[in-house]
Chains A and B, each alone.
Chain A
Amino acid sequence: MRLNVTVNGRPRQADDVWPGESLLYVLRERLGLPGSKNACEQGECGSCTVYLDDVPVCSCLVAAGQAEGRQVRTVEGLAEGDRLDPVQQSFVDAGAVQCGFCTPGLVVAAHDLLRRTPRPSDEEIREALAGNLCRCTGYEKILDAVRTAADAS
């Protein structure tokens, strides 16, 4: 199929897409947006989290066909030019990034949390990020980053 999808505000097209292939694959391999990461391909780790029409989803579990005509926002679309989104800035400042492979998914998940709940409690942060695995940081600095971003906005 020919896939029409708006990604980070820009209408994009991809040809010869098998409707069953994952949105993650389309973003990474067909649209040149490898920021979203593939780490389990079965919805267990959250590394591939993107917004689909303003709802965060595991893009590895969304079939390309389901994204037809819809809006996608990835980690590449969060900063305004050179200005990082407050969530991105606080991840850098707090030391919440180590290898960085979980980071794109966590940044999108944290971004979504703060949109819905600008002043989350610690429990709400832990709950919102429970689907995102990180093997490096031990999470403490990630929680710090989300708290800082909440204070900043």
Chain B
Amino acid sequence: MTRLVGRGVPRVDGRAKVTGAARYAADNEIAGVLHGFLVMSTIARGEVREIDPSAALAHPGVVAVYTHADMRTLTVPGFPYNRTFIPMQDTRVHYSGQPVAYVVAETLEQAQEAANLVRVRYRAEPPVARLADAPDEPFLPEGFRADQPTETVRGDAATALEQAEVRLERTYGSPMQHHNPIEPHTTTAVWDGETVTLHESTQGVVFTRNVVSAVFGLPPADVRVVSQYLGGGFGAKGPVYPHTLLTVEVARLARRPVKLVLSRAQMYTSNGHRSEFRNHVRLGATRRGTLTAVIGTSTAQVTRTDERTFNTNDSAVNLYACPNIHVRQLGVRLDLPTSGYMRSPETTAHFGLETAMDELSYEIGIDPVQLRMRNLRPTDPQNGRHTASRHLPACYRMAANAFGWKWRNPLPGTTRDGDEYIGWGMATETHSHNAIRSTVALTIGLDGRATLRTATQDIGTGTYTVLTQVAADELGMPLGQVTTLLGDTAFPDASLSAGSSTVPSVVGPVADAAQGARDRVIALATTDPRSPLHGVPAEDVDTEGGRLFARGDRHRSDSYRDVLTRHGRPVETRSHVENTRGHSFGAVFVEVRVQPRLGTVRVSRVAAAYDLGRVLNHRTARGQVIGGVTWGIGFALMEHTAVDPNTARVVNPNLSTYLVPVSADTPSVDVAFVDQPDSGSNALGARGFGETPGTGVPAAIGNAIYHATGRRIRDVPFTQDKLL
């Protein structure tokens, strides 16, 4: 049956994207649109005393300057809005870069210029910007998601640690980081009477619709959110953020459509970030390397208004078979924006665990791959699914072979090439994935073409392509006979593009809706005396290439087009099939070259292998691996949002000083897949995968640096100053 699924089919939206025809949220032409620009607070804590808009209002083209005084009282929504307040509702300032006024003008340049002319006076209080500077003890916040508790206890970890033959205690850290999708956040709000349409750069049109409807007291049907193409999100566009809500309100006040595009600098305080993070890890083990205790206490930043933390310590709980576990995620209140999910949020804590495992391997004197093999967990402890890590040994083997791991001399500092030190390191890769209830509608028109509609969106991973592949295969049509439409709340509700949930959530319903439609068309043909298939038992009809065939007698055939034309009405099906949460796994091996005189680190080679269940599209899956590994390299070697400790302001809010990997930083990546279907997943045996690759890369790089130099660095990024 499967002709397309599994193959590296090129993207169905590739042509639109290389010709500039793809319409992203800011690309729509909207008659009479005004351009908005936010005025952001320059203090991190305190109060707005006075706002003087007169100079701004005198600027040509400026239509209005809105402040808290103009705004209605809006209802603060729940998750996925990550704050307990909406800015510009009162005078309180909770972080630097909080919106305090909103300028609208005829052109963007006019709005931008006028925003600079708005005079704001404040009463400022001294802020706290770093974990190390917080006066209060870290506390255990209440979890805000039932599936992500802030504390997990299994067995008696304290006693087990005390009795362990080998003990290791270390602290690891990582700084604040920002997602920096290349597309900035954008919202265009268009009111029509009491209904509003948003052209929004969002990873969740349905989430956004629900939040806007709650804030403005509108029936969900009166809010439409459209996001046809998304220029990356990485978590920054998952939750709904204040600028979206403010734009909706300002468009209502201005009685004209308003378009807001955040500037790059504003994206450093508007849409969450990966929090600064400390992870205190204690491991107990036998002399042979069997883990007997894992205690992980992490500390992340929360705010004075919110207690949510996002960098869950999932792998410490789920990855290794240790009977005694105590994991806690503490918070410290800082005067910064609320943090959020950022691609592969579990990486942050996993970096500590996988570095500690490497340190333990040296402590005990066994190979780091061996140590991990010795502690594998045969079943997923959370749901008892036996498939979870069954193929992890194969991942270690495949990646180790591709890398040439067996040639490694374990002694640190022994391998050189000219004046460069060479080191090899490895780590396990793992991330959880979600499954979100999703519905799809499929229509086969009189022309025999199929159209799939569902309100998930393509964040860039290849959702359009994979869903088209699945539907075409199940229908027995060529790829070009199926059109997939996404990113519009006019379609049935479907998954957020986050938490690696799209494939596990939406593929099952697409396959089911397509099978249903195919069966209906087969039934139409076999019961229609005008069809060559009349009288053939339905179960003996195959579909392929847009045609229907009698099995065993291929000359008796019909086509979707002819069946539908005779039928005279389109065939429509809808489906939702629920899936379960799960994990994907892998192993990554890296080689680094360290230049001892300069302290520079270059990643020269990467080999990785993964178990993600069945691979639906090798090309897009590889794309996720290479992209994820590149994120891991950024995490390990350069990404760092610097916050001034006195003003709590981001001092590098741009792409020339917040460094992200460029083409010269990335080696080629050797990628392999186990590619065995997971019988526990109804997404054709595929699991969620996008966030697994890269989770182990920061630890693998740090482990390789230790192997190269004998220097163990426990704080990312591994910059030159730390290596000299």
CB distance from B473 to the nearest CB of A (A): 20
Contact B460 A136 (CB under 8 A): yes
Which of these binds chain A: B176-184, B402-410, B413-421, B583-591?
B176-184
- Checking A76, A84, A126, A137 against B664 with a beta-carbon cut-off of 8 angstroms, the contacting residue is A126
A21 lies within 8 A of chain B by Cβ: yes
Contact A34 B627 (CB under 8 A): no
Chain B residues positioned under 8 Å from A98 (CB to CB): 232, 460-462, 623, 627
A25 lies within 8 A of chain B by Cβ: yes
Residue of B nearest to A145 (CB): B18
Residue of B nearest to A85 (CB): B18
| Most interface-central of B109, B181, B663, B664 (chain A CB within 10 A) | B663
A120 lies within 8 A of chain B by Cβ: no
A147 lies within 8 A of chain B by Cβ: no
Residue of A nearest to B60 (CB): A18
A78 to B668, CA, bound (A): 29
Contact B663 A99 (CB under 8 A): no
Q: Which of A22-75 contact B (CB under 8 A)?
A: 22, 25, 28-29, 32-42, 44-45, 47, 74-75
Contact A139 B232 (CB under 8 A): no
A97 lies within 8 A of chain B by Cβ: yes
A100 to B20, CA, bound (A): 9
Given the known interface contacts A133-B655, A138-B629, the answer about A35 and B21 at a Cβ–Cβ threshold of 8 Å is yes
Chain A residues positioned under 8 Å from B664 (CB to CB): 126, 130
Q: Which of A70-105 contact B (CB under 8 A)?
A: 74-76, 78-79, 84, 88-89, 91-93, 95, 97-104
| Most interface-central of A75, A97, A134, A142 (chain B CB within 10 A) | A97
Chain A residues positioned under 8 Å from B460 (CB to CB): 98-101, 136
Chain B residues positioned under 8 Å from A45 (CB to CB): 182, 655
B642 lies within 8 A of chain A by Cβ: no
Contact B21 A95 (CB under 8 A): no
CB distance from B268 to the nearest CB of A (A): 12
Contact A92 B669 (CB under 8 A): no
Residue of B nearest to A36 (CB): B20
Contact A39 B14 (CB under 8 A): no
Chain B residues positioned under 8 Å from A40 (CB to CB): 264, 654-655
Contact B630 A44 (CB under 8 A): no
B41 lies within 8 A of chain A by Cβ: no
Residues of B within 8 Å of A, CB-based: how many? 59
Which of these binds chain A: B5-13, B303-311, B388-396, B716-724?
B5-13
Residue of B nearest to A142 (CB): B663
Contact A138 B627 (CB under 8 A): yes
B580 lies within 8 A of chain A by Cβ: no
Contact B619 A44 (CB under 8 A): no
A114 lies within 8 A of chain B by Cβ: no
Chain A residues positioned under 8 Å from B14 (CB to CB): 91-92, 97
B263 lies within 8 A of chain A by Cβ: yes
B315 lies within 8 A of chain A by Cβ: no
A115 lies within 8 A of chain B by Cβ: no
B231 lies within 8 A of chain A by Cβ: yes
Given the known interface contacts A100-B22, A140-B669, the answer about A44 and B654 at a Cβ–Cβ threshold of 8 Å is yes
Contact B20 A137 (CB under 8 A): no
Contact A35 B19 (CB under 8 A): yes
A142 to B626, CA, bound (A): 11
A44 to B657, CA, bound (A): 10
Chain A residues positioned under 8 Å from B656 (CB to CB): 42, 44
A18 to B19, CA, bound (A): 28
B107 lies within 8 A of chain A by Cβ: yes
Chain A residues positioned under 8 Å from B181 (CB to CB): 99, 101, 135
A18 to B112, CA, bound (A): 13
Contact A39 B662 (CB under 8 A): no
A9 lies within 8 A of chain B by Cβ: no
- Write out, one digit per residue, whether chain B residues 98-113 have a CB within 8 A of any chain A CB (1) or not (0): 0000000001111000
- Checking A33, A41, A88 against B18 with a beta-carbon cut-off of 8 angstroms, the contacting residue is A88
Which of these binds chain A: B23-31, B289-297, B360-368, B370-378?
B23-31
- Checking A35, A37, A103, A140 against B626 with a beta-carbon cut-off of 8 angstroms, the contacting residue is A140
Q: Which of B171-213 contact A (CB under 8 A)?
A: 180-184
B95 lies within 8 A of chain A by Cβ: no
- Checking A37, A95, A134 against B620 with a beta-carbon cut-off of 8 angstroms, the contacting residue is A95
B229 lies within 8 A of chain A by Cβ: yes
Contact B183 A29 (CB under 8 A): no
Q: Can you spell out 27 A-B residue pairs with CB atoms less than 8 angstroms apart?
A: A34-B27, A35-B19, A35-B20, A38-B184, A39-B264, A44-B654, A75-B20, A84-B19, A88-B15, A89-B18, A95-B8, A95-B10, A95-B11, A97-B18, A98-B627, A99-B181, A100-B460, A101-B181, A101-B182, A101-B460, A125-B663, A133-B660, A133-B662, A135-B182, A137-B623, A140-B669, A141-B623
Besides A41-B263, A101-B183, A135-B180, 19 new A-B residue pairs in contact (Cβ under 8 A), listed by A number: A25-B109, A34-B23, A35-B20, A35-B21, A38-B261, A42-B656, A91-B18, A95-B623, A98-B461, A98-B462, A100-B17, A100-B460, A101-B182, A101-B231, A135-B181, A137-B623, A138-B626, A139-B661, A139-B663
5 nearest A-B residue pairs (beta carbon): A35-B20, A99-B460, A101-B231, A100-B17, A138-B630
